Chains A and B, each alone.
Chain A
Amino acid sequence: NAGVTQTPKFRVLKTGQSMTLLCAQDMNHEYMYWYRQDPGMGLRLIHYSVGEGTTAKGEVPDGYNVSRLKKQNFLLGLESAAPSQTSVYFCASTKTGFSPLHFGNGTRLTVT
């Protein structure tokens, strides 16, 4: 049972490039989330989804887009990367809106 899997683990982008981060969960969870983690800032919610085909904005959504075409996958896109988006990105999922979150191991993104 893999749980929550994030790909890639590391990525370096130049300013203006685009990329997609993939999150996959095999626990049949309805809810999925994308967070970013920066030193001293804790975990900040970017976007989330309460079910297949749905997405909603979190605390820091600007510069990011998401899609949830399949229940098990939640994609995070950066259309035009900026140095301020250098961060560690975590995906999480949960069965219901009242259950604890299960996290992936993160994607470390550097934008130069």
Chain B
Amino acid sequence: GQQLNQSPQSMFIQEGEDVSMNCTSSSIFNTWLWYKQEPGEGPVLLIALYKAGELTSNGRLTAQFGITRKDSFLNISASIPSDVGIYFCAGRPQGGSEKLVFGKGTKLTVNP
């Protein structure tokens, strides 16, 4: 089946640093979503992207839908301790599937 390759698997950064993570696929996706999961909770939607080339911000977070429709990235600027968590990318494959495909997540640790 379709897979998403998410990298890096984990990141250890200092408070104030910028963060970048990405997802790639060998096939085309119509939708890209970025979720954050904190310990003991379910994933929460951060940003949704629906159009190739789309660049969308949510506070200090910025995500882009790649022009080839096979990738997406998420940037976090000026990280703070509450950014800690696991970030997941998810995509909806071309063909209108009602099933999302998830990446394996990027675990972010922010040192104060």
Contacts and interface: CB of A to CB of B under 8 A. Distances in A.
Interface of A: 4, 31, 33, 40-45, 48, 50, 58-59, 90, 92, 97-98, 100-106
A42 B105 contact: yes
Contact of B99 (A42, A48, A104): A48
Contacts, number: 53
B45 A100 contact: yes
Contact of A42 (B33, B44, B102): B102
B92 interface: yes
Interface residues of B, number: 25
A40 B35 CA distance: 16
Contacts of A43: 43, 88, 102
B51 interface: no
Contacts of A40: 104
Given A59-B1, A98-B92, A103-B42, A45 B99 contact: yes
